[in-house]
Amino acid sequence: MGESILNNKRVLAVDDEPDILGTLREQLEDFPGIIFDGATTYEQGYHLLRSWTYELVILDIMGVRGFDLLNASVSLGFPTVMLTAHALSKEALKKSIEMGARAYIPKEKMADIIPFLEDVLSLSYRPGWKRVFDKLGGFFNAKFGPEWQKEEKQFWESVASGEFEHKPTILKK
């Protein structure tokens, strides 16, 4: 690998599917100096979040209490990406955005994850979400239907245009 913003970074991935962690590890292993930590449970992931400083965190939503880990990760200031298959919905996408995730990547797009991760590390929050929607807008339209943004048009337009401003979220039980 040549020069990349991923070089010499510490990355945490939490997913209850070990094969997903293996795939992520393989995709990242050629970046010089990268340290990859993987966890398959909420408890392991939370312990690692509290034990190290990460330049990038990748979280599954289902099976590992991904939104709880997202809350912890964002509160610690770690750029965080949501990676999901089973929680692929406009509601989970919106919640991820509102809680401060920097990207929301369907597992179907894992083969293309490196440019998304580089964007998360090189772009700030608002331009980063604009880039996600530039790259995945057609995918979201196909998955959620052509009018999936209709009910909350202003919110989705602000995210897609890079104008949405993240405000800290407090989770309620």
Q: What is the pLDDT of residues 122-155, one digit of tens each?
A: 988 888 999 999 999 999 999 999 899 999 999 9
Model pLDDT, residue 2 = 65
Model pLDDT, residue 3 = 87
How far apart are the C-alpha atoms of 38 and 58, rounded to whole Å? 9
Model pLDDT, residue 140 = 93
How far apart are the C-alpha atoms of 70 and 45, rounded to whole Å? 10
Q: Among 25, 73, 84, which residue's Cα sits nearest to residue 47?
A: 73
> Residues 61, 93: contact at Cβ < 8 Å?
no
**DSSP line for 75-126:** HTT--EEEEESTT-SHHHHHHHHHTT-SEEEEGGGGGGHHHHHHHHHHS-HH
The band of 120, judged by pLDDT with boundaries at 50, 70 and 90, is very high
Domains parsed from the chain with CATH numbers: 10-160 (3.40.50.2300)
